[in-house]
Amino acid sequence: MTAEDFQAGQVLLIDKPLTWTSFQAVNKLRWEIRQAYNIKKIKVGHAGTLDPLATGLLIICTGKMTKQINTFQGQDKEYTGTFVLGSTTPSYDLESEIDQRFPTEHISEENIHNATQSFIGEIDQFPPVFSALKKDGKRLYEYARAGEEVEIKSRQVRISTFEITKIDGLNIDFRVVCSKGTYIRSLAHDFGKALNSGAHLSVLRRTKIGDYDVANAVSPEDFISSLSSE
């Protein structure tokens, strides 16, 4: 691939590692492309944020393909992961410590499978307080980390597939296909409530965005290696 190819526009499928932010991934790839081809300036952006504690498919666009970012962002996403029943965290995932514990003795495998049905279709969902959404010019997580209360409005999202793929004690593996704007952390929290208990997200992996599959993605390291070998 040449400098002209990247300027003309490329769609890169990156398998984002754990703990990386989507912003870090974009910055790293932009820097590596500039260094490899001695490019002073190039547009690079991602089509849909993944939380630091999530792994999986990140679509990164370069050059003129950055104009297509909104199109990619609007496509349905597929996720797999794990909910942990019986406890909640303020962030709805492992970014924060467990703050409450709930009984789980009443929950059967049948209850778990049946509970998915109430989330299929158009649903109203409250985003987590620990999220990058903005209110009055500040990110919600900035309010949350400062211990400030903030009113969050629900929004409508669509879940077309929600299936339980494995039950191992309190660890519930799932697969979800959903619309843009769906928070799987919020789904975990609400799923716990639906079972008259609590739940939080412990593992999350984005496996698809539209027709793009993480099976065809490469790690940042492999992408960088491919630049140096050209």
Q: Note the pLDDT tens digit of each residue in 46-61.
A: 998 898 999 999 999 9
Q: What percent of the chain has pLDDT over 90?
A: 80
Taking the model in full, what pTM does it have?
A: 0.92
Instruction: Kindly list the structural domains of the chain, giving each domain's residue range(s) and its CATH number in brackets, ordered by start.
Output: 3-74+211-228 (3.30.2350.10), 77-209 (3.30.2350.10)
- Confidence tier at 230 by pLDDT (50, 70, 90): low
User: Do 140 and 150 touch, CB atoms closer than 8 A?
Assistant: yes
Distance CA 136, CA 147 (A): 16
Task: Give the residue, 153 or 120, on which the prediction is more confident.
Answer: 120
Polymer length in residues for the chain = 230
pLDDT of 139 over the 60 cut: yes
- Cβ of 221: how many Cβ atoms within 10 Å? 10
* 176 residue type, one letter: V
Question: Out of 51, 99, 168, 190, which one is annotated catalytic?
Answer: 51
According to the model, what pLDDT value does residue 143 have?
Answer: 66
According to the model, what pLDDT value does residue 138 have?
Answer: 73
Q: Note the pLDDT tens digit of each residue in 79-125.
A: 999 999 999 999 999 999 999 999 999 999 999 999 999 999 999 99
Average pLDDT on 219-229 reads 88
Q: Note the pLDDT tens digit of each residue in 204-217.
A: 999 999 999 999 99
Mean pLDDT of all residues belonging to the chain: 92
Q: Note the pLDDT tens digit of each residue in 178-195.
A: 999 999 999 999 999 999
Average pLDDT on 76-80 reads 98
Per the DSSP assignment, residues forming a β-bridge with 200 are 84
Does the annotation count 136 as an active-site position?
A: no
Q: What percent of the chain has pLDDT over 70?
A: 93
According to the model, what pLDDT value does residue 152 have?
Answer: 78
User: Do 86 and 103 touch, CB atoms closer than 8 A?
Assistant: yes
**Cα 84–chain centre separation:** 17
